[in-house]
Amino acid sequence: MRLFSNVDKRANIAFELMANQLGCSEVIAPLERSGSFDGGVMTVRYIEKRRFFSRIYKLHITLALSGHDAPAGEAHWKKGRHWTGNPAVSDWLAGHAQLSGLSSLIDIETASYRRKTSDATATVDLVTLPGCFIWTLVPPMHYFVKLNGKEIDGLRRLLGRYLDINHV
């Protein structure tokens, strides 16, 4: 029996709950799920950070947005609530109502956008605080930072039929 098997089991239960709420039911790996929507594909997975007295399972969301006229290039989200990087990409992201509103929707640790000229899809990668599972040995506790209804609805709208992917 592994020392952390109970921790892993609880993290898996929390992950399954969250993935189902987001509509990501296709199993890719033990802690990775995917779901197809009208506007693209959402993949959610846990990134495990191991420390001596704790484990943190961070939620990593990848949005593959298809069928839109987003510019090629890269940009990164700065905690100052703005996109930096390629000026054309940053301006497009800042002007996009749903993508620019991500920070007011969910607490973002990091975010990035990339699209190569040859790609038909753009990729937005997010690491968020909501959705994480935290376990500590001292003091002994575990905590699942649940996504609230507004966050779940907002993330689903990014790829659902509610997303106006050509709106800038």
Q: What is the pLDDT of residue 94?
A: 82
- Asked if the model's pLDDT at residue 151 lies above 90, the reply is no
pLDDT band at 163 (very low <50, low <70, confident <90, very high): very low
Architecture of domain 5-159: 2-Layer Sandwich (3.30)
Q: What is the pLDDT of residue 112?
A: 92
Q: What is the pLDDT of residue 90?
A: 86
Dist CA 51 CA 164 (whole Å): 42
Q: What is the chain's mean pLDDT, rounded?
A: 83
Q: pTM for this one?
A: 0.85
**Domain ranges in the chain?**
5-159
Q: Distance between the two ends of the chain, CA-based, in angstroms? A: 53
Dist CA 33 CA 89 (whole Å): 28
Q: Which of 156, 120, 158, 162 has its CA nearest to residue 25? A: 156
